[in-house]
């Protein structure tokens, strides 16, 4: 670890760009790196020399061929110079991963939480970080993702309804107890950051990710930048109106996205109609096998998802929309309905936005938190030097 508690040496803006280029896109020759980063060969050489001195970059084992036909030894990031810990915080559990610098998951586990009180959560996270650090001395930063708006760089969680938190200073609490640089982020934006750099949207400068399940979330990447909005409030789309009628959500809104699409609402509607309790997966199975009640509720949810995606596409013009979350199984069942209603909400002159369904695990949420930790230490290393 370098001085000031960060994992990387001081990075000028050009050096930061080169590092991210290598992290995201993999091994590249010096000539290609200079061209992509718009740097002179001499400037690129200085940056690479500094990276090699700090063991941050090495020559790749892969040999490429330049246009002249001469062999070239590409450069690549030493992904094991530092490791990261990512934690997805739920009211009753911690989903924990450790990763290398390219977000490859090295270890993963789920730990129950006895209490969601901030002190208890801090104690539980500190214990898992201590245990992980003893097993992996390369751990250099902690990322935590949770539901709720979190402004970028904030040390305080303003609110998290699932945790019943208001103005919790989680970052300084964890930084003091773990001794590691710490970042806390909105879970959907963390997942989107992972997809942007190392997942289904690698190389895509404009896309949106929508998550469905207990909550409804959205995050947008525009011009290669993750959109946060004022107070970290971007992407809270659950209460956008779909119809003037429809079911009520828990906030008393009739016919909003959440009232149609949240897993709790879907389960409640079908349970009431059938006169017995059902689970979310059972609802999906009933819909697939032709139960008219379940099919209607699931189709209505698909229509709401389509209208939501179309609205997002109309506002941000993404190259694609990725759908994920613990309730993502629904999207596969009614994808034709989703596509149809997304198209209705878009402008007629624009091409149909591709919709991709991403398999969901809580490991992916935790991996997203690790990627936010990676971005944090890269940004913390940035200097005004050129």
H/E/C letters for each residue in 228-246?
A: CCHHHCCCCCCCCECCCCC
What is the reported pLDDT for 232? 87
Residue ranges with strand state E in the chain: 57-59, 64-65, 71-72, 75-77, 83-89, 93-99, 105-112, 139-146, 157-160, 165-168, 182-186, 207-211, 217-222, 225-226, 321-324, 355-357
Cα dihedral 90/93/99/102 (nearest 10): -20
Kindly indicate the confidence band of residue 64, based on its pLDDT and cuts at 50, 70 and 90: low
Q: Give the tens place of pLDDT for each residue, 277-329.
A: 999 999 999 999 999 999 999 999 999 999 999 999 999 999 999 999 999 99
Residue owning tokens 């009520």: 248
The more confident residue out of 7 and 351 is 351
Is residue 323 classed as helix, strand or coil in its secondary structure? Answer: strand
Kindly indicate the confidence band of residue 181, based on its pLDDT and cuts at 50, 70 and 90: very high
Q: What is the pTM of this model?
A: 0.91
Q: Give the tens place of pLDDT for each residue, 232-250.
A: 889 899 999 999 888 988 8
Q: What's the average model confidence in pLDDT over 353-371? A: 93
What is each CA distance from 169 to 91, 201, 228, in whole angstroms? 17, 32, 19
The more confident residue out of 383 and 56 is 56
* pLDDT score of 3 more than 60: no
Kindly indicate the confidence band of residue 386, based on its pLDDT and cuts at 50, 70 and 90: very low
Domain 3-77 = CATH 1.10.10.10? yes
DSSP 55-123: TSEEE-S--EE-TTS-EE--EEE-TTSSEEEEEEE-SSEEEEEEE-TT--EEEEEEEE-S--SHHHHHH
Q: What's the average model confidence in pLDDT over 357-369? A: 92
The percent of residues above 70 in pLDDT, for the chain, comes to 94
* pLDDT score of 273 more than 70: yes
Residue owning tokens 């936010």: 372
Whether the domain at 83-193+363-380 and the domain at 202-357 fall into the same CATH topology? yes
Kindly indicate the confidence band of residue 184, based on its pLDDT and cuts at 50, 70 and 90: very high
Token pair of 14 as six digits: 């050009």
Ranges 187-191, 237-241, 343-347: which has the least confidence: 343-347
Q: What's the average model confidence in pLDDT over 212-240? A: 92
User: What order of strands is seen across the sheet that includes strand 83-89?
Assistant: 105-112, 93-99, 83-89, 139-146, 182-186
What is the reported pLDDT for 332? 94
Per-chain mean pLDDT for the chain:
91
Domain 83-193+363-380 = CATH 3.20.190.10? no
Q: What's the average model confidence in pLDDT over 146-166? A: 93
Q: Give the tens place of pLDDT for each residue, 12-30.
A: 999 999 999 999 999 999 9
* pLDDT score of 2 more than 90: no
> CB-based burial of residue 352 (10 Å sphere; 0-12 exposed, 13-18 middle, 19+ buried)?
exposed
The more confident residue out of 331 and 244 is 331
What is the reported pLDDT for 63? 54
What is the reported pLDDT for 7? 62
CATH of 202-357, one of 1.10.10.10, 3.40.50.2300, 3.30.420.40, 3.40.920.10: 3.30.420.40
Q: What is the DSSP letter of 248?
A: B
* Domain boundaries defined on the chain: 3-77, 83-193+363-380, 202-357
| Exposure letters 167-199 (e unless 16+ CB within 10 A, then b) | ebbbbebbbebbebbbbbbbbbbbbbbbbbbbb
What is the reported pLDDT for 4? 42
Ranges 92-101, 110-119, 234-243, 328-337: which has the least confidence: 234-243
Within 10 A of 366 (CB to CB), how many other CB atoms are there?
Answer: 31
What is the reported pLDDT for 23? 95
């Amino acid at each position: 670890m370098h001085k000031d508690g960060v994992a990387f040496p001081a990075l000028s803006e050009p050096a930061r760009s080169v590092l991210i280029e290598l992290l995201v896109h993999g091994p590249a020759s010096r000539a290609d790196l200079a061209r992509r980063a718009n740097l002179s060969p001499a400037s690129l050489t200085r940056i690479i020399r500094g990276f090699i001195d700090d063991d941050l970059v090495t020559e790749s084992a892969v040999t490429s061929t330049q246009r002249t036909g001469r062999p070239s030894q590409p450069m690549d990031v030493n992904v094991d110079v530092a490791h990261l810990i990512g934690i997805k915080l739920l009211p009753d559990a911690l989903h924990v991963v450790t990763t290398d610098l390219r977000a490859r998951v090295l270890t993963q586990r789920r730990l129950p939480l006895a209490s969601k009180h901030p002190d208890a959560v801090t104690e539980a996270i500190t214990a898992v970080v201590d245990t992980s650090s003893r097993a992996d001395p390369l751990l250099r930063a902690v990322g935590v993702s949770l539901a709720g708006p979190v402004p970028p760089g904030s040390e305080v969680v303003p609110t998290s309804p699932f945790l019943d938190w208001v103005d919790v200073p989680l970052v300084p609490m964890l930084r003091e107890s773990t001794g590691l640089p710490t970042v806390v982020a909105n879970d959907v934006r963390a997942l989107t950051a992972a997809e942007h750099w190392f997942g289904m949207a690698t190389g895509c400068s404009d896309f949106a990710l929508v998550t469905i399940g207990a909550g409804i979330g959205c995050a947008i990447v525009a011009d290669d930048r993750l959109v946060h909005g004022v107070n970290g409030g971007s992407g809270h789309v659950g209460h956008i109106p779909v119809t003037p009628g429809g079911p009520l959500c828990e906030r008393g809104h009739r016919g909003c996205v959440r009232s149609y699409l949240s897993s709790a609402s879907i389960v409640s509607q079908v349970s009431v109609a059938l006169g017995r309790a059902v689970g979310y997966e059972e609802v999906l199975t009933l819909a697939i096998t032709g139960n008219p009640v379940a099919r209607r509720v699931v189709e209505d949810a698909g229509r709401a998802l389509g209208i939501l995606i179309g609205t997002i596409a109309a506002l941000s013009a993404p190259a694609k929309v990725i759908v994920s979350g613990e309730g993502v199984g629904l999207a596969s069942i009614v994808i034709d309905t989703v596509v149809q209603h997304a198209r209705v909400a878009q402008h007629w002159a624009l091409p149909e936005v591709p919709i991709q369904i991403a398999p969901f695990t809580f490991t992916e949420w935790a991996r997203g938190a690790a990627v936010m930790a990676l971005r944090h230490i890269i940004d913390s290393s940035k200097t005004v030097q050129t």
